[in-house]
Amino acid sequence: MAPGRHSTRPAPRPYRKWAAFGAAAAVVAAGYVVAGAADTPAPGPGSSLCRAADDKREMRGAWLTTVGNIDWPSEPGLSAGEQQEELDARLDEAADLGLNTVFLHVRPTTDALYESDLEPWTRYLTGEQGGDPGYDPLEYAVAGAHERGLELHAWFNPYRVGISSDLETLADDHPVKDNPDWMVRYGGEGFLDPGNPEVRGWVTDVIMDVVDRYDIDGVHFDDFFYPYPKEGEEFGDDDSWEAHGDGFEDRDDWRRDNVDRFVAGIHERIEDTKPWVRFGISPFGIWRNSGSDPAGSDTDGLESYAAQHADTRTWIQDGTIDYVVPQLYWERGFGAADYEVLTDWWADQVEGTGVDLYVGQAAYRVGEPGWGESSLTDQLDYSDGVEEVGGDVYFSFTSLTEEAADAFAHLAGEYYTDPALPPLGDVAPDTDPEVGAVRGLSAETGGEGTELSWDALDGARSYAVYRIDADRARAVAAGGVEDVCEALTSEALLGVTGTPSWTDGSDGEGAYVVTALDRFRIEGPAADPVDPRA
């Protein structure tokens, strides 16, 4: 997702050209029960009573990039143990930074960061495409993320095969070896042809294989569909245009239709299989300029509609994506592509559609002219006031711990002082939680802080841990929905965990409450408060 294809984007760094990458929801429900009640889902009003006061949900994510070993693993050829150690460190850093979602690059070049019968192992694990790393990195990553209370979205590049040097060393079982007509060489790179129905079917099957077999929280695409244009070159899809272009007078319209069909098909398959798995796309930040289309933004840059044939606005209107993360990698006041102008434009597109909007933030640009310690905070200072913006995703993960570390710390001190629950899944506002109240909550204070534990709850995806004062604890114990909504706020939220235990290392006092979140991220009823000092 890195920049470098147009004058409105900064120059690329080595290999990053490969990565060019609402207040929702049902919150604490009714039916709050005391200890000893049955472990059954409690009826509740979903978000209808708590929505106005609910500021607990926000996307706080980062792209963990594997292509070119940008973020992980640090280099190819590490042992399984070394890779796992590095991945553990990245996930620990995500939790420490206050993030709640990791977008893991699982299919960088028509290969797999996971055990697959369809495509070979990615070269970025062992240095050789098809080389077995000795474990399943995606399985390991999902388990590690969930244990830490993080969501993991599997990030796929649908059509990229590799640069020229990659194409000379494709594994014997690479799909292009069996189907050479699937690939188009363009600009020194190889791409699967989106106009070939066999290609679209293959990629869909690859993605659904992951959805079926892994406990992921989301499926994610970046901005690569048709490749970014190269001056003086044409994408060589004549054969598929002649075979499948009937009904279209314009090849560009046909290309957009190919991408539209693919996106809609993925969304439909996920909804039919695991509707709690969210599907989102991170397009280039400009759909169309107003000079090309009155519905476009007041900008003057490359248009994803024409360049990648990605009609993101149609996907939003048709509801074929659950969330969109436009890459707004330009600063406030930048003439050709102003961050404020584009934030407002994207907010207008999602308003009333049910599609969530998160902003793709350019953490990698910190240190460039005009991008100082306050640069990321400056962006959120604006978009935080735009109601439709439900959070942010940062490119790339390593930037948050290196060049952007101080800038992100500045941002976190302004905006991430309280933890955030993940955004809600695609459910109706009055949907009841699938989980009941947490049982067996106990708290014991010692030298290391307060140790909490509770019984694991069937159907719980994660647990939210709160600390509240005595008055609010009594109100929660009484079980009044409005009192519970008022008590279990973002300020009271200590964090989210995937395990039935928590250590509060602070010296704060009060009563503890734990709720469970189901697979749609709906928060279940509150357990009886426990005060270890009472």
Is the dihedral angle over the CA atoms 358, 49, 489, 500 positive or is it negative? Answer: negative
Give the type of residue at 448.
Answer: E
Q: Are 337 and 301 in contact (CB under 8 A)?
A: yes
How many Cβ atoms are within 10 Å of 337's Cβ, its own excluded? 24
Q: What are phi and psi of 238, to 5 degrees?
A: -60, -45
Residues 194 and 201: beta-carbon distance below 8 Å: no
Query: What is the spatial distance between Cα 285 and Cα 357, in angstroms, rounded to a whole number?
Result: 12
Supply the DSSP symbol for 490. T
Check residue 55 and give its pLDDT. Answer: 77
Burial of 340 (0-12, 13-18, 19+ CB in 10 A): middle
CA distance 13 to 395: 13
**Do residues 109 and 160 lie in contact, with contact meaning Cβ atoms separated by under 8 Å?**
yes
Q: What is the pLDDT of residue 198?
A: 98
Gap between the Cα atoms of 260 and 244, Å rounded: 15
* pLDDT tens per residue across all 534 residues of the chain: 543 322 333 332 222 223 322 222 222 222 222 222 233 333 333 333 454 345 799 999 999 999 999 999 999 999 999 999 999 999 999 999 999 999 999 999 999 999 999 999 999 999 999 999 999 999 999 999 999 999 999 999 999 999 888 899 999 999 999 999 999 999 999 999 999 999 999 999 999 999 999 999 999 999 999 999 999 999 999 999 999 999 999 999 999 999 999 999 999 999 999 999 999 999 999 999 999 999 999 999 999 999 999 999 999 999 999 999 999 999 999 999 999 999 999 999 999 999 999 999 999 999 999 899 999 999 999 999 999 999 999 999 999 999 999 999 999 999 999 999 999 998 887 788 999 999 999 999 988 899 999 999 999 999 999 999 999 999 888 877 788 888 999 999 999 999 999 999 988 889 999 999 999 999 999 889 999 987
CATH class of segment(s) 439-526: mainly beta
As to burial, measured by CB atoms within 10 angstroms (0-12 exposed, 13-18 middle, 19+ buried), residue 299 is: buried
- What is the predicted pLDDT for the residue at 268? 98
Q: What's the confidence (pLDDT) of residue 50?
A: 54
pLDDT in the model for residue 95: 97
Report DSSP state, residue 527: P
Tokens 């850093």 correspond to 93
Q: What is the pLDDT of residue 47?
A: 36
Q: Report the distance separating Cα 138 and Cα 122, nearest Å.
A: 12
CATH class for domain 59-416?
alpha beta
What pLDDT, on the 0 to 100 scale, is given for residue 54? 56
- Residue 219, CB half-sphere, CA atoms under 13 Å: how many? 29
Structure tokens given for 58:
């926000």
Among residues 382, 460, 457, 464, the alpha carbon closest in space to that of 415 is found at: 382
- Strand 218-221 with 442-446, pairing: unpaired
- Per-domain residue ranges of the chain: 59-416, 439-526
C-alpha–C-alpha distance, residues 107 and 209, integer Å: 12
The answer to whether 59-416 and 439-526 have equal CATH topology is no
pLDDT at position 1, please?
Answer: 54
Give strand pairing partners of 444: 451
Are residues 415 and 381 in contact, defined by beta-carbon separation less than 8 angstroms? no
Answer for the pair 286, 299: CB distance below 8 angstroms, yes or no. yes
pTM: 0.91
